[in-house]
Amino acid sequence: MDNKFKKRLNYALILSMITIGYNTLEGAISTFFGASDETLALFGFGLDSFVEVLSGVGIAHMIYRMKKRSVVERDSFEVTALKITGTALYILAAGLVVGAVLAVVNRSEPETTLAGIIIAVLSILTMYFLYREKIKVGKKLDSQPIISDAKCTKTCFYLSFILLTSSLLYELWEIPYVDALGSIGIAWYAWKEGKEAWENARTKSLSCSSDCC
């Protein structure tokens, strides 16, 4: 393993650690303001960020193994991380759907969605940077797992736009139930990611056709 390859792996590991750290912070802030402002979309977005931390730990572990030897398939730690991630995403999706239904039935609306707007904008900028850098280093290393992780980051990018749209619509025009609709959008992505996580855990393959590995 030459020095250039090692440096690229180190950079990939740093990007993975930044992802874990950012999602942890984003999850804590989003769930706090989501609960205090009674905005389900922001609260669900925060919970999804926490789940993405589990996925990020599995990716970081894989890159660390790459630094030591050639990796041909996922190990038991990575498979377990995927299974936990998938299960958590299924639960999150179901919880958000139930929450959205209850919000409509009870006619509950957020006090404000300003925090959601700010968090969404910061997330869009951060996820775009991480996606771009992960794609670059993944292609240079010819690493499908790192490229797939970049696509997973791209999914978080889309989730941020859902949060931004629902938060803006409510904050500017107070459109009824738009927060509930935003949470449904997040639930759909969570369900999709959960399904992909379980499929990747089942196959153990490092290459995959899904957008999030």
Pair of tokens at residue 110: 């957020």
Residue 165 to residue 67: CA distance in whole angstroms: 41
Q: What is the mean pLDDT of residues 171-189?
A: 95
Q: What is the pLDDT of residue 207?
A: 56
Q: What is the mean pLDDT of residues 145-171?
A: 91
* Cα dihedral 201, 204, 206, 211 sign: negative
Residue 75 has pLDDT above 80, yes or no: yes
Give the pLDDT confidence of 125-157 residue by residue, as tens digits.
999 999 999 999 999 988 887 888 888 888 888
Q: What is the pLDDT of residue 2?
A: 78
Residue 94 to residue 80: CA distance in whole angstroms: 21
Pair of tokens at residue 7: 């440096």
* φ/ψ of residue 98, rounded to 5: -60, -45
Give the pLDDT confidence of 6-25 residue by residue, as tens digits.
899 999 999 999 999 999 99
Q: What is the pLDDT of residue 104?
A: 94
* Summary mean pLDDT of the chain: 91
Counted residue by residue, the chain has a size of 213
Give the pLDDT confidence of 93-110 residue by residue, as tens digits.
999 999 999 999 999 999
Q: What is the pLDDT of residue 209?
A: 47
